[in-house]
Structure 1
């Protein structure tokens, strides 16, 4: 169940993050950005998740996905 929840929250977070960062991607890439962003955000904002529950995890997932998009744009896309 936690893996399914991670996929659902990560997909939603990836969708929101790609729209906020104005990045046009396909569905698989959006899901990957969201899931990896959820992992990054979950690690960084563990305290926020404990205090606010799933909403904190969702915020962390969006912020992590946005960080991943920024890193991609800064270091990978320029090549």
Structure 2
């Protein structure tokens, strides 16, 4: 249960920051979804940073993953 709550909180924060950086206006559920998927993508891509820098790198990876997901969504899906 703790991991799920952690993913929702981190996903909400990362999704919020990513949608503001990319200037995308979405509802709360979409923002959290973007953040959670971005955290998964960023976690897979930037896994090595977790061992080097700790939890902060996980948050950075989540934001970068969310930014990548928004870019893919705007480029390929939204048309």
TM range (shorter): over 0.9
Please name the residue that 2:3 is paired with: 2
Question: Secondary structure at 1:23's aligned position in 2?
Answer: coil
Counterpart in the other structure of 1:36: 37
Bigger drift between 3-12 and 30-39 goes to 3-12
Instruction: Give the aligned partner of residue 58 of structure 1.
Output: 59
Task: Tell me which stretches of 4 or more aligned residues in structure 1 moved more than 2 Å.
Answer: none
How many equivalent residue pairs? 78
Structure-2 separation of matches of 1:50 and 1:3: 22
Unaligned runs of at least 5 residues, structure 2: none
Unaligned runs of 5+ in 1: none
Q: TM-score, normalised by structure 2?
A: 0.95
Q: Does 1:73 align with 2:74?
A: yes
Bigger shift: residues 6-15 or 28-37: 6-15
**Aligned-residue offset at 1:3:** 2.2
RMSD (Å) for aligned C-alpha atoms:
0.7
